[in-house]
With several copies, the nearest count.
Chain A
Amino acid sequence: MALDKNGIAQRIAQELKDGYYVNLGIGIPTLVANYIPDGMEVTLQSENGLLGIGPFPEKGKADPDLINAGKQTVTATSGASFFDSALSFAMIRGGHIDLTVLGAFEVSEKGDIASWKIPGKLVKGMGGAMDLVASAKNIIVATTHTNRKGESKLLRKCTLPLTGVACVKRIVTDLAVLDIVEEGFKLIERAPGVTVEEIKNATEGFLFIDGDIPEMNI
């Protein structure tokens, strides 16, 4: 069965390692924070100037001077630090973030990503997404495999304006885990109960299948 948003987040959390500094985008990526294994030290960076995002505040305790990049009120962990946007993006651009997780409208088999603009619709701006995808050491896209119309989001070529080129390393969808390799989308894992055939049908780009594909362990 296809995963829900939380399932995708849960699977992505398996990519975390002790000591990682991680930037989580808005939407599904934010949910990854809920699945950090106990005892593992993962520090979350917020590009508006916070290293060490804590849980949302208790009711009545929201601090207007303490928000995340999605403009939600948050708290800071013990050991957090605050800084200006130039230093925040120095961390990002300088490759100091171990893992970036973000959403996407489309991903191409070359690892291109489109995530910020749909022609004809309102342009909101790219925010920090272009900086993140251009510089992160490891980029995982968290997305549904198809859009609301049932069309694949994993394409031969992106049709929408790009956020970055040849940058995505891994994609975790409701149906599968896939890596970008020379051949295209390499199928790594299937969601529990989802068949390779179903994944093939939902993938417009070239799906590279090498041997038996295990089910996700979630």
Chain B
Amino acid sequence: MNKIVKNAEEAIIGVSNGMTLMLGGFGLCGIPENSLKALAESGIKDLVCISNNAGIDDFGLGVLLRDRQLKKMIASYVGENKEFERQFLSGELEVELNPQGTLAERIRAGGAGIPAFFVPAGYGTEVAQGKEVREFNGKMHLLETALTADFAFVKAKYGDYSGNLIYNNTANNFNNMMASAGKITIAEVEELVPTGELDPNQIHTPGIFVQRIFKGTGYEKRIEFETVR
């Protein structure tokens, strides 16, 4: 069973108009740069994108946004992006904002076969609109539902031929859960090693969650706010 594909162009085969995609990363940290570029070049449109953020104007998810490939965004924080603002205010882009922890948990639930769960976040706010409210231990909670995607795109530091993944530092973020929640999960990695080279006790994402894997190239790894001492 070969999971290895040559590059991002081959990896995105099957992605089509109107599909729901998950895209890992927090800000520009740990985003699947190669896959995002291939999606931008593909011209595929009407996409529903689940991603914590929306990239910046000329990089990451921002490029798909600029080229009007997105129909809807499910995210928690979408600042840092002027084109996003314009499309959102003009109504071109549908946006569903989630508390960040709720978003993370909804994705984990999608991967773990849990259709719904209760959390306290958002009770009494506009996030609660239309949601079932229930009290547990004297505290009000909202019923939140699972998220899954047709394709999930994740980025890891190391991957092996079996699809096992290891992330680096805070570049893990949403990638690990998203890998489990895609019907088809595509992993791009900085280093692709033969099966058996990664320590089985150190795997963050077991290969069962990954259907396609490739070695990415030309990582820019842009920094949004370089802050030094």
A interface residues (Cβ-Cβ under 8 A, vs B): 18-19, 21, 41, 43, 45-52, 55-68, 70-74, 76, 78-97, 112, 122-131, 134-135, 161-166
The closest CB in chain B to the CB of A128 belongs to B100
Question: Per a CB cutoff under 8 Å, which of A66, A74, A131 touches B101?
Answer: A131
Residues from 169 to 189 in B contacting A, C-beta threshold 8 Å: 169-177, 180
Question: Per a CB cutoff under 8 Å, which of B26, B102, B157 touches A131?
Answer: B102
B119 touches A93 (CB 8 A): yes
Task: Write 12 A-B pairs (CB below 8 A) sorted by A numbering.
Answer: A65-B168, A67-B26, A72-B226, A78-B196, A80-B200, A85-B52, A86-B176, A90-B111, A92-B101, A94-B180, A126-B77, A164-B123
Q: Least Cβ distance of B102 to chain A in Å? A: 7
Q: State whether A72 and B97 are in contact (beta carbons under 8 Å apart), knowing that A127-B76, A161-B126 are contacts in the complex.
A: no
The closest CB in chain A to the CB of B222 belongs to A64
The closest CB in chain A to the CB of B205 belongs to A81
In the complex, what residues of B have CB within 8 A of residue A19's CB? 1
Q: State whether A124 and B170 are in contact (beta carbons under 8 Å apart), knowing that A59-B229, A162-B125 are contacts in the complex.
A: no
Question: Is B203 close to A, CB under 8 A?
Answer: yes
A21 to B104, CA, bound (A): 21
A48 touches B29 (CB 8 A): yes
| New A-B contacts (20) at CB < 8 Å, excluding given A48-B26, A134-B122 | A49-B172, A68-B170, A70-B225, A78-B195, A79-B161, A79-B195, A83-B172, A84-B173, A85-B52, A85-B103, A85-B104, A85-B174, A86-B107, A91-B206, A93-B119, A126-B77, A126-B127, A130-B127, A164-B123, A164-B124
B interface residues (Cβ-Cβ under 8 A, vs A): 1, 26-30, 52, 75-80, 85, 88-89, 95, 97, 99-105, 107-108, 110-114, 119-127, 157, 160-162, 164, 167-177, 180, 195-196, 200-201, 203-204, 206-209, 221-229
In the complex, what residues of B have CB within 8 A of residue A65's CB? 29-30, 157, 168-171, 221
The closest CB in chain B to the CB of A19 belongs to B1
In the complex, what residues of B have CB within 8 A of residue A76's CB? 169, 200
B170 touches A66 (CB 8 A): yes
B121 touches A64 (CB 8 A): no
In the complex, what residues of A have CB within 8 A of residue B77's CB? 124-127
B208 touches A125 (CB 8 A): no
B125 touches A161 (CB 8 A): yes
The closest CB in chain B to the CB of A98 belongs to B208
Q: Least Cβ distance of B207 to chain A in Å? A: 7
In the complex, what residues of B have CB within 8 A of residue A165's CB? 123-125
Q: Least Cβ distance of B48 to chain A in Å? A: 17
Question: Per a CB cutoff under 8 Å, which of A58, A85, A125 touches B79?
Answer: A125
Question: Per a CB cutoff under 8 Å, which of B113, B157, B161, B228 touches A90?
Answer: B113
The closest CB in chain B to the CB of A69 belongs to B26
A130 to B121, CA, bound (A): 5
B200 touches A82 (CB 8 A): yes
Question: Per a CB cutoff under 8 Å, which of B79, B100, B170 touches A82?
Answer: B170
Question: Per a CB cutoff under 8 Å, which of B100, B121, B228 touches A57?
Answer: B228
A71 touches B224 (CB 8 A): yes
In the complex, what residues of A have CB within 8 A of residue B127's CB? 126, 130
Q: Least Cβ distance of B165 to chain A in Å? A: 10
B223 touches A90 (CB 8 A): no
In the complex, what residues of A have CB within 8 A of residue B221's CB? 64-65
In the complex, what residues of B have CB within 8 A of residue A112's CB? 124
A123 touches B88 (CB 8 A): yes
